[in-house]
Structure 1
Amino acid sequence: MQPSNQVSQTVSTPAKKSHRLGTAVALAILVLLAAAIAYHVMHRKPPRMHRTAQVVSAASATLGDMPVTLSELGTVTPIATVMVQPELSGYLMNVAYKEGEDVEKGQLLVQIDPRPYLIDKQQAEAQLAKDQATLSQARSDLARYSELNDRKSIAQQTFVDEQFTVRQDEAAVKADLASIAQYDLDLTYCHVTSPISGRVGLRLVDAGNYVTASSSTGVAVVTQMKPTTVEFTVPQDSLGQVSERMQAGAKLPVTVSDSNNNKPIATGTLYALSNQVATSTGTVTLRAMFDNQDEKLYPNEFVNVKLLVDVLHQAVLVPTAAVQTGAPGSYVYLVNADNTVSVHKVTPGPTNGPYTAILSGLAQGDKVVTDGMDRLSDGADVRIAGAGKGDEGDADDAAPASAAHAHHRHEHHRDDSKTAS
């Protein structure tokens, strides 16, 4: 029995050693494999990404004239608006105007009852006749007293008193004449006329109303329609350029559009500047004159005003859509020769809507992106819309070129057909 046990122990010991060795080798292999995977992950290079060119629209900067304008809100302000008030009191006998009609200067508007003033005038004329008779008698007495005084037949004081009497009677006659003149003026005031030519407003009084000189409503309102003016304000920063141009004798044109700014309705000329700046708004009021023969400008109407201050000649112009604003300030995406774009800072100037003048930062012929810049960045690859790969021209230039090429092929085909026939 003992030999058998020894044999089994001898056989089992190598088997255990062999099993342990296999396990160790497997673990070593797993460790090496994990280390290799970790090394590969940590030191592998990122995959190369192929950049796709973004399709954009572009335009070249050109030279042209750019008007320098100020766009503001304005109000049509008549040259004269008069509330016609009576100069005296009385009952209205007649209202001679019609609502909303055009009247001329001196045209009758209303008639006040003149009879009380006629009676006052007649009384003044009667008093004048009495005082003139008294004056004539006093002068006759003075002439007689003068002869007696020369002969020393009367006292000196009597002669002097008669002289004073004549002067008093002369003064009374002058007072009577003044009263008659006043009543004549009152009779004139009974005919209330228009002080200006213009358009009368809505009816304020009716025949039979009693009016007074202290009436606050008046009897009519007359507004001058033509010519007329438009008042508007500009920022004080723009005042210097406007004032300089006016002092140089320039007649600055002003264009007025309706409240919706849809279309121009009148053109005029700037003629007046206010004498002070409004401290609450930092603006100054300007006034422009308009002929307004067609009466398209109505009093107190709100309008849009464009004042042409100056014109920049041979300015660098780009589409307004190309000018962006961001962290760098004002900039454009400049298309480079290698079909990449770069952020390019510019100094924009005045604009007329579709185009903007660039005061600095661009030159004639520089190509800028006008559309498709939402996902652009500095150095991005671009492809001009409508242009083939490698074509650096504008999309606008490519279309005429393609049309010309197609026309050439058509003519060449016609020539080949003739030859074959």
Structure 2
Amino acid sequence: MLRSLVKTFIWLVFLAGLAGGGYWVWQHHRAETRTVEKNPDERVPVTVATAETRNFPVYFDSLGTAQAWNMVTVRSRVDGEITKVAFDEGQFVKAGDLLIQIDPRPYQAALDQAVAKKAQDEANLANLKRDLQRFEKVGTLATTQQQIDTQRSNITQQESLLKADAGAIANTEVQVVYTTIKAPISGRVGFRLVDQGNIIHAGDTGGVATIAQIQPIAVIFTEPEERLPRILDELKHGPLSVTAFTSDGKQELAKGQLSLVDNQVDTTTGSIKLKGRFPNTEMTLWPGLTVATRLLITTEKNVVVIPDAAVQRGPDKMFAYVVGPGRKAERRDLVVGEIQDGQAVIKSGVKAGEQVVTAGYYRLEPGSTVELPDDRKKEEQKQKATPPGGPVSESKHTVLEAE
């Protein structure tokens, strides 16, 4: 029994010593690690940028579609044979240019008939008036009052008939004019839908051709409804500029101005439709083309701007690391304004001319010593300038020369 207790005690002492030794080794290693981690001489490589004061444009980005400022489907208003097609597909035409000529002879013949009919009725009216004068001259001695009244009525009817003749002539003249189809607006003609020799009808729905006015041209785009109050507020100060880009946003196509804010919000999408007017002098916009739009809302004057990469999001506020005196990192709480195109407006926290850390900040803490790219370049150049084995002393050069 006693031997068993002694043996157990010895094992307990051995295990306690082993545990104590392990704990001492762990504490020693932890202390060394802390020393390495908090070594004040350690330099953390970072990339920096300099805060600058400049004007900062604020944009609303969206997608839109170009459409013709005016689009007309040219149709015939009379029936007849096409005797001439005076345009080419894709041609630019001006308002009033001849497009289609329809055979006018049937309508010209009808016009001649209407003119002749009016001349005949005018002759009849003149005869009726002369008879009335004779009746009135002789009076009731040679005729009755009823005949005189009837003659006056016949004259009134004939005068009305002349007015109808004048209307028929005017209508026929219009029909003759309609046989010549002219461009109602200036623009680019699309596909030709008829050919010379075809019989065309006034009821044809296809039309002759379409004309699209693309100088100027419109771009229709949408913005979220929450942006509407600011857009309307900025419009009070003058027109807003709109820039159209390719759908991938890489190439600028044209510049224009906001010309219309729709009169209602689309409740299904929660967006408002807007229309931009572009001169399109370079013909870079085309009806149906999908474009990216940038609506310039305002330009903030003389504000401090830093790269967006320098702005860190903390649990309760934004901050950035600033390179202070002695290459020491300083944590600054920020009040950030607009963020766009990789740049951020800083309302407080950083001053113009100060350097902010844009990369490598994950190893930083307040007071850390930073290593800038220029420092690394200088160190590399110094190492390249130093020959292997260290610098050669002047006495060694002398010995070598003597040998």
TM-score (norm 2): 0.81
Q: Is the 8 A contact 1:65 1:313 kept in 2?
A: yes
SS in structure 2 of the partner of residue 273 of structure 1 = strand
Please tell me the residue identity of whatever aligns with 1:143: Q
Number of the residue aligned with 2:64: 74
1:93 aligns with one of 74, 83, 90: 83
Distance 1:27 1:284, change over 3 A: closer
1:63 aligns with 2:53: yes
Gaps of 5+ in 2: 386-403
Tell me the amino acid that sits aligned with residue 152 of structure 2: Q
Distance (whole Å) between structure 2 residues aligned to residue 309 and residue 189 of structure 1:
49
Work out which of the residue numbers 168, 174, 178 in structure 2 matches 1:189. 178
Report the structure, 1 or 2, having the larger strand content.
Answer: 2
Q: Do 1:346 and 1:358's aligned partners in 2 also have CA atoms closer than 8 Å?
A: yes
The alpha-carbon distance between structure 1 residues 164 and 329, as it changes in their structure 2 partners (threshold 3 A), is farther
CA displacement, residues 254-285 of structure 1 (integer Å, 9 cap, x when unaligned) = 22222332222222222222111121222222
| 2:152 pairs with 1:163 | yes
8 Å Cα contact 1:80-1:224 kept in structure 2: yes
Classify 1:203/1:24 alpha carbon distance in 2 versus 1 (closer, same or farther; 3 Å).
closer
- Matching residue within 386, 390, 399 for 2:373: 386
Residue 417 of structure 1: aligned partner: none
SS of alignment partner, residue 80 of structure 1: strand
AA aligned opposite 1:233: T
In structure 1, the partner of 2:259 is: 271
Instruction: Please identify the structure whose Cα radius of gyration is greater.
Output: 1
- Show the counterpart of 1:117: 107
Would the alpha carbon gap of residues 294 and 324 (structure 1) be closer, same or farther in structure 2, given more than 3 Å must change? same
Opposite residue 297 of structure 2, the aligned amino acid is V
In the other structure, the counterpart of 2:16 is 35
Return the alpha-carbon distance in structure 2 between the equivalents of residues 323 and 152 of structure 1: 117
Residue 148 of structure 1: aligned partner = 138
Equivalent of 1:198, from 178, 182, 187?
187
Equivalent positions of 1:20-419 (< 5 A) are 31-39=12-20, 41=22, 45=27, 47-48=30-31, 49=33, 50-51=36-37, 54-149=44-139, 153-248=142-237, 250-325=238-313, 328=315, 331-335=318-322, 337=324, 339-340=328-329, 342=331, 344=333, 346-351=335-340, 353-359=341-347, 362-364=350-352, 367-373=355-361, 375-376=362-363, 381=368, 383-386=370-373
CA distances 1:131-180 after superposition (whole Å, capped 9, x unpaired): 1121111111111222233x665332222111111000011111112111
Cα separation, 1, equivalents of 2:189 and 2:374: 66
Secondary structure of the residue that 1:32 maps to in structure 2? helix
Q: 3-state SS of the aligned residue for 1:68? A: strand
1-side partners of 2:63 and 2:8: how far apart? Answer: 87
Cα displacement (A) at 1:343? 8.1
Query: Quick check: 82-91 or 263-272, which moved more?
Result: 263-272
Post-superposition CA distance 1:69-111 (Å, at most 9, x none): 1122222222211111111111111111111111121111111
C-alpha change, 1:174 and 1:339, in structure 2 (3 Å) is same
SS of the residue aligned with 1:266? Answer: strand
**Alpha-carbon distance in structure 2 between the residues aligned to 1:377 and 1:384:** 11
The AA in structure 2 aligned to 1:111 is Q
CA distance in 1, matches of 2:5, 2:231: 96
In structure 2, do the counterparts of structure 1 residues 155 and 285 end up closer, same or farther at CA, with 3 Å as the change threshold?
Answer: same
Q: Write out per-residue CA displacement over residues 158-217 of structure 1, whole angstroms, 9 at most, x where no aligned residue.
A: 221111110000111111121111111111100111111111111110112111111111
Tell me the amino acid that sits aligned with residue 328 of structure 1: P
Query: Aligned partner of 1:247: which letter?
Result: K
Distance 2:300 2:107 in 1: 69
Instruction: List alignment gaps of at least 5 residues for structure 1.
Output: 1-19, 389-394, 407-421
Give per-residue Cα distances to partners, 1:316-348, cap 9 Å, x unaligned.
2111222345x7277344247583564846534
Q: Quickly say closer, same or farther: Cα 1:27–1:85, change in 2 above 3 A.
A: closer
Tell me if the contact between 2:320 and 2:332 (Cα under 8 Å) persists in the aligned partners.
yes
Shift of 1:289: 2.0
8 Å Cα contact 1:346-1:362 kept in structure 2: no
1:109/1:330 CA distance change after superposition, 3 Å: farther
> So what's the TM-score if we normalise by structure 1?
0.78
Conserved 8 A contact 2:320-2:331: yes
What residue in structure 1 maps to residue 398 of structure 2?
A: none
> What secondary structure is seen at the aligned counterpart in 1 of 2:263?
coil
Note closer, same or farther for the CA distance 1:360–1:170 as it changes in structure 2 (3 Å cut). same
